[in-house]
Amino acid sequence: MTVNFGRPGEDVTGAWLEGDDPQERKFIKIGFLLLENGEVLPDITIAYQSWGTLNEAGDNAILINHAMTGWSDVPSWWPQMVGPGLPFDTDKYFILCPNVIGGCQGSTGPSSIAPDGKRYGSRFPIITIRDMVNAEVAFSDALGIKKYRLVVGPSLGGMRALEWAIQLPERIGAICTIGSSAVATGDQIGTASIQIRAIKSDPHFNKGDYYEQNSGPNEGMGIARRIAHLTYRTESEMDVRFGRQLQGDETGRFAVESYLDHQAKKLAARFDANTYIALTDAMNSHDVGRDRGGVAAALESISVPVVVVSIDTDRLFPPRLQVEISELVPTAEPLITISSDFGHDGFLVESEAVGDAVRHALAVAAKITLK
């Protein structure tokens, strides 16, 4: 194993690292966080981006919770959603999106430098969805945001939105959860566990302490991404789009293989393998009913308006999971179902339909704000 004691190179991690161009990122310290498992994560930095202006009443803030491989730059991963006249209208609202703890795009995570001067690596603690939300609360406090008009997110972001509704109803007007669930299912955990094993089986993983090597576990993360991407899309799309076509190059690959290779390469350029594991483990921990008397009891306790959005072809978060939320939450709006050929990724592709759902959620939240 070749060791490099300097700054990790691009073959080691795609994480944003100190000294990199911050671009539009802003950074704020939120102190320490007592995690669910009893450990303390010290001296936390949150990277975030914002759009629009907080009004004098302080009642026009929106919190966007990004999905697993998303980050604070919402327009980069959720096109046609943020801007003047768009669903998250920057002429009307103050929109915030923080990178989650455990992330790799500026917030404290496994690739960050720990208090002892070394990168966390394998020492980064296990985090849960509730830990992420507690960090978001501390982030909001640090910025002086007392209440959000809307907390919204797809997938992992939708999990966090639900936790906001259960834990902190007094600090939100409404939530919108898109292609998400109240609890991680056995199928999701099973698929995720294979992805984690792929990363840990990479000879460059080194039990998570690979930042001083010349190479990181990109092959393992690439395999994980290929598996995950198939769960994000649909069987019919893969067959219609690629079928049995060959790529037509010297590799002899099928076209669908080339497509998945491309997805793996793209992720490696902007993501970190330890973060992939940390956030996947967090999603596996998701259960709004834990220590609350079960899922039904937790959902029935919600008192703020909830807009639930489902994608009819989603095989990672099948529609029955959104039906469960909409039927058990007493304040839920009628379920919104988006028809898409693109499965779970429909929340990224179906901009018009998703935008309409967000506008509806904001209209619902406005009624609460005006009371």
Q: How far is CA 132 from the centre of its chain?
A: 10
185-193 long-range contacts (CB < 8 A, ≥24 apart) are: 185/321, 188/283, 188/284, 188/316, 188/317, 189/284, 191/227, 191/228, 191/231, 191/316, 192/280, 192/283, 192/284, 193/284
Active site residue 314: yes
CATH class of 26-185+287-370: alpha beta
Q: Which pLDDT does position 204 carry in this prediction?
A: 98
**Cα angle at 284 between 129 and 71, to 5 degrees?**
55
What is the structure's pLDDT at 369? Answer: 62
The segments of the chain whose pLDDT lies below 50 read: 1-5
**Sequence ranges of the domains in the chain:** 26-185+287-370, 188-283
Catalytic-labelled residue, pool 131, 287, 314, 345: 314
**Which residues, in sequence order, are CB contacts of 241 under 8 Å at separation 6+?**
256
- Residue tagged active-site, from 155, 180, 285, 326: 155
Count the alpha carbons within 13 Å of 162 in the hemisphere toward its beta carbon.
35
Q: Are 252 and 262 in contact (CB under 8 A)?
A: no
131 is catalytic: no
Measured CA to CA in angstroms, residue 365 lies from 53, 148, 173, 357, 371 at distances of 18, 10, 5, 12, 10
- Whole-number pLDDT of residue 2: 44
Give the pLDDT confidence score for residue 3 in this predicted structure: 44
Residue 367 is predicted with a pLDDT of 85
Instruction: Verify whether residue 66 is a known catalytic residue.
Output: no
Give the pLDDT of residue 5. 44
SS (H, E, C) the chain: CCECCCCCCCCCCCCCCCCCCCCCCEEEEEEEEECCCCCEEEEEEEEEEEECCCCCCCCCEEEECCCCCCCCCHHHHCCCCEECCCCEECCCCEEEEECCCCCCCCCCCCCCECCCCCECHHHCCCCCHHHHHHHHHHHHHHHCCCCEEEEEEECHHHHHHHHHHHHCHHHEEEEEEECCCCECCHHHHHHHHHHHHHHHCCCCCHHHCCCCECCCCHHHHHHHHHHHHHHHCCHHHHHHHCCCCECCCCCCCEHHHHHHHHHHHHHHCCCCHHHHHHHHHHHHHCECCCCCCCHHHHHHCCCCCEEEEEECCCCCCCHHHHHHHHHHCCCECCCEEECCCCHHHHHHHCHHHHHHHHHHHHHHHHHHHHC
Q: Under CATH, what is the fold of the domain 188-283?
A: Rna Polymerase Sigma Factor; Chain: A (1.10.1740)
Residue 333 identity: E
